[in-house]
Structure 1
């Protein structure tokens, strides 16, 4: 079996309303799919993390930089291919977009292996450790409105997420320390003290502001404080982790086992959030997961993408052992986008793939299918409708 071509598909559509996080507002939703084709007629699908124009840059890297390096290679040789690409790009791409691009390619190679062997991904990476995975709803994104308006919007959205049977929920902050705490307090009062709530800052703060917010979160019984400071600020993470009681979560902007080794050995986080579509793909994710386990750090994957990303992460979590284990361990959760309807989740796959229906019917839990590979196949007609070629 040989790789014959790699196609990169960037899809985009306009949202009904502008959404945002601490760094920007956006009006379009985009996703970047990678299709690896072989001489045996088996194609694999992957996804690259990185929205908008970043996806277009990654498309160029996939097709013009990575493709020439690996066309003709046996797709079964995933480790060899990963090391070949990384080593040849090392001088220019140890982090960032080259690794995001490699991630999508690597995931597609695992999909090919699953289809070739007629086995689901979770079996290829160790088998089933969990029959079902708890799911948390990720919503309450920022909008260009006053804090009082956002409070009312967030309260209503929080109520809706809770009513859909999610096991927990996560909200955005980024207006400024005092207004952010007002937002969190309003949501906490709406959902009650017994419902698990997480707060995502997308590295909005310097250390002093993060300490101020973190101490406020301690009083509101928040499960984790995500990306409170810049991902490069290992010392800031470390100090924050030691000075507040709320769990510090991070890692979505970290790349490869080398970057994750620094994050972990500097004792920056309580909860690891690897982004498989960005850190180097499944091949690298498995090494990072093992590194986290060796340091007794729970892994709760970062998930923000299409049905391809969600399916891959559901397999990864299904195969993930409880950490540290016991009769009643704390389970990892699957992150699920509950904002305005995301057609890249609902309408992209040819298979029946509805996490939301599972959550509603199964008390907040979702289960992986036994379909070969990652278990979902993008619809070519859908791709043609929403693909951009800028």
Structure 2
């Protein structure tokens, strides 16, 4: 079997409202799907992390840079392909967009391997340690409005997410330390005492400001403090982990095993959050997972994107061994964006229906059982939402 074509599909639509996080506001939803075709009619699907114009740029990398390197190669030679592409791109970017582009291709190759063998991805990875995973719902995105108004909105939204049946919830911050603490207090009021909530700063703070917010989060009994400082500031991560009682999490913007090795050896994380659609795909994710577990650092995958990304992560979470093990081991969770996302809810021929599962199954989501990723996108849907670029 040989690879005959690799196609990027960049999909986009106008969102019903403007949302934001600490770095920007956005009014369009974008997703970047990768399709790998073969001479035997087998097709695999993957996804590249990156919104808006980043997706458009990654499309060029996938089709104009990576595709010529791998045409004619056997798609089952996943590791050979991964290292060929990485080595040829090393001089031009060991992280960032070239690795995001490689991620989508690699995921599609694993999808093909599952379809060829007739096995679901989690079987290829060694089997399922669990047949379902708990799911947390994130929301409470930033809006360009007064903080007091936003706090009231956050309180109501947090209560709604809890009522949907999710096992935990996560909010965004980014207005500055003091107003952000007000928002966090509102979320705690919304979910009540004893319900797990997390805070995602998207690297909004200096280390000193992160300490201010982190101490407030300790008082609110928040579960983790995500990306408090810039991903490059690994010493800041170490200082925060040593000085705060709250779990420090991060890693969605950390690429490849070498960057992860540096972060983990510096002992900066309580919880690692690798993004499979960004760090190099499933092949590299497995190496990063091994590094995390070698450092006894539990993993909760970062999940953002379409149903392809969600399905991929369900398999990865199913195949993740318990750390450290025992009768009642620590368990990973599926991250789920509760804001409007047609590319997650309506993309597939058979929808995953995550929210319906959460409500019916006490906050848990089952693992796909079909070959490969176990899902197939609707081509008419893709055609309708594909943009030029």
TM score, norm. by length of structure 2: 0.99
- What SS is found at the alignment partner of 2:116? helix
Give the C-alpha shift of residue 352 in structure 1.
3.1
Match of 1:272 in 2: 272
Match of 1:73 in 2: 73
What are the equivalent positions in structure 2 for 1:94-133 lying under 5 Å apart? 94-133=94-133
Match of 2:149 in 1: 149
Q: Map Cα deviations across residues 299-349 of structure 1 (whole Å, 9 max, x no partner).
A: 00000000000000000000111111111112100000101x211011101
Count residues in correspondence: 389
Consecutive unaligned residues of structure 2, counting only runs of 5 or more, are none
What are the equivalent positions in structure 2 for 1:182-261 lying under 5 Å apart? 182-261=182-261
> Hey, what's the Cα distance between the residues in 1 that align with 2:112 and 2:357?
27
Match of 1:46 in 2: 46
Match of 1:385 in 2: 384
Give the C-alpha shift of residue 188 in structure 1.
0.4
Residues 36 and 43 in structure 2, CA contact (< 8 A), matched pair in contact too = yes
> Hey, what's the Cα distance between the residues in 2 that align with 1:369 and 1:208?
44
Give the C-alpha shift of residue 154 in structure 1.
0.7
> Hey, what's the Cα distance between the residues in 2 that align with 1:187 and 1:76?
47
- What SS is found at the alignment partner of 1:150? helix
Residues 162 and 191 in structure 2, CA contact (< 8 A), matched pair in contact too = yes
> Hey, what's the Cα distance between the residues in 2 that align with 1:294 and 1:266?
13
Match of 2:363 in 1: 364
Q: Map Cα deviations across residues 188-223 of structure 1 (whole Å, 9 max, x no partner).
A: 022112100000000000111011111111111110
Residues 157 and 190 in structure 2, CA contact (< 8 A), matched pair in contact too = no
> Hey, what's the Cα distance between the residues in 1 that align with 2:137 and 2:351?
20
> Runs of 4 or more off by more than 3 Å in structure 1?
none
- What SS is found at the alignment partner of 1:171? strand
> Hey, what's the Cα distance between the residues in 2 that align with 1:280 and 1:352?
26
Match of 2:317 in 1: 317
Deviates more, 1:78-87 or 1:318-327: 318-327
Consecutive unaligned residues of structure 1, counting only runs of 5 or more, are none
> Hey, what's the Cα distance between the residues in 1 that align with 2:67 and 2:368?
30
- What SS is found at the alignment partner of 1:179? helix
What are the equivalent positions in structure 2 for 1:281-320 lying under 5 Å apart? 281-320=281-320
- What SS is found at the alignment partner of 1:91? helix
- What SS is found at the alignment partner of 2:91? coil
> Hey, what's the Cα distance between the residues in 2 that align with 1:141 and 1:352?
25
